[in-house]
Structure 1
Amino acid sequence: METPTPAAPLAATAPSGVSMPLGMFVFTLLYGGMTVLAGVLAFKQVQLGPTGLAVESGIFPFLLLVVISSTLSQLYGREAAKRIVWWGFLPLGLSALLLQLVLALPASSEMIAFRPEDLAAFERVHASTWRVWMAGPASYITSLLLNIWIFDRLRGSGDGSGTAGLMVRGAIASALSQAVDSVIFITLAFYGEFAIRDLMIGQVLAKVFLSLVLVPFLITFGVQGARWLDARRTA
């Protein structure tokens, strides 16, 4: 009787034949999308329930960036996670260039005639100042590399893969890196234009709160999800 041919591994394969773990491939795709979405959602500020804290909505995809980078560091090593963070500038930069192109191109006569309010809102929301454009990438690279470094250092000499340890490490690394992110972004974007102390305190508290509440569960789910995807290679 003829032996069945084993199923091909479910993994991303480069033209050279070098195989990438499926979990890394999927999470890298998600990472690129979140870098773009964070800038779009940042224009709306939301209230965090009964806490009285307000935060710009870009924190939600940014927290996912923290979770993804920590997941990659946990499973594939700190250097792999750092490379993904640096390459995150590619979708971030391309989306910024495309946005500037769209803003520079003239609107259609139909939109000017029948949807002038939509056109004005689009241009008002997306025509950010140069300081905001500079502050975003600066806070992005600093806070995410800091998150990876803290998360990896807290692992110590052990494996650090236990659920409780993973949740604690993820929460601490996220809370500290998000606090630094807020200080850098608000200082670079708004210092000298208005009093930023209250805004900075509110943003730091809100981001630390979200990091402590959401990240422990998200990172546990992220690591388990990536492991499940990697296991599918041999299924």
Structure 2
Amino acid sequence: MTFPVVWLYWIISLTVVTYVSAFIINRHREYGFSALVAFYTIYLAASQIVASRLIEFDLGFYTFFAPAAVFLYPFLSQAIDMINEVYGEKKAHVAIIIAFLTQILLVTFILMTNSLSPAPFFEYEDAWQGIFSQSIRITIASWLSFLLFQNLDAYVFAWMKRNYPKQVFLRSASSDLLSLTLDSLIFVVLAFYGVAPLVPLIIGQIIAKNFIGLLDTPWFVWYKKYLEKKS
């Protein structure tokens, strides 16, 4: 069986972001928060754009359908955990608000450019408008679920850290599991009601997001150990 190239991209991107973030925090702690917020924001913007594409997700033993953002959205929970771990819960909530404000700008820019008349030789206007008109709805649905469940993630992670300070894997995995599961329920209903079958997408989202969210947890553990080793 051929190794899907998507996992190669996934491993490389996650490794680079984790290492670069830890490196910046250790060498220049005052810039670490800004770096993590930058990564967090691009994760959010990219996940909202690619969410309009529905994909076949093949685990090898089971195949289901989900928005392409399932490969990216768990990175949001990973990034907010990375912020929370080093800079605390308050800074995590600040990062969520900053990322949310950037998404308002993203939608504004899409609406702004979509209002312009296309060139007469541009052959893809209908496809463009179809994709990005749907993306607006997806983005709004994502806003609501994002604000609710990323803040929930930050709260649960901080609570777990206070009560189980040595359980690094547990606090990241458990906060991600709760937020990603609830987010999937709300997001799919708001984004795809009347457009696509909801139950398969909800199941697909929950399985895919939590599967990928669990897979990326060892990178968080590595991040924590790297910080402790260099401190």
| Counterpart residue identity of residue 215, structure 1 | D
Which of 167, 170, 179 aligns to 1:168? It is 170
When the two structures are aligned, how many residues end up with a matched partner? 203
Tell me if structure 1 keeps the 8 A contact 2:66–2:201: no
Q: Which has the larger radius of gyration?
A: 1
- The answer to whether the aligner puts 1:33 opposite 2:42 as a matched pair is yes
Which of 198, 201, 204 aligns to 1:199? It is 201
| Counterpart residue identity of residue 216, structure 2 | V
| Counterpart residue identity of residue 187, structure 2 | F
Structure 2 counterpart SS, 1:55: strand
Give the Cα–Cα distance (whole angstroms) in 1 for the partners of residues 138 and 127 of structure 2: 18
Give the Cα–Cα distance (whole angstroms) in 2 for the partners of residues 180 and 157 of structure 1: 23
1:168-225 CA distances to partner (integer Å, 9 max, x unpaired)? 221121121111101111222344666523322232122222222x231232244456
| Counterpart residue identity of residue 23, structure 1 | G
TM-score, normalising length: structure 1:
0.75
1:17-70 CA distances to partner (integer Å, 9 max, x unpaired)? xxx622212111111222211111112233133131333121233212111100
| Counterpart residue identity of residue 127, structure 2 | A
TM-score, normalising length: structure 2:
0.77
Aligned residues: CA RMSD: 2.6
Identical pairs, percent: 20
Tell me if structure 1 keeps the 8 A contact 2:37–2:99: no
Tell me if structure 2 keeps the 8 A contact 1:35–1:91: no
Which of 46, 49, 61 aligns to 2:59? It is 49
Match of 1:5 in 2: none
| Counterpart residue identity of residue 37, structure 1 | A
If each structure's helix is expressed as a fraction of its own residues, which one has the higher value? 2
Which residues in structure 2 correspond to 1:3-82 (within 5 Å)? 11=28, 21-46=30-55, 47-50=57-60, 51-82=62-93
Flag the 1:130–1:61 CA change in 2: closer, same or farther, 3 A. closer
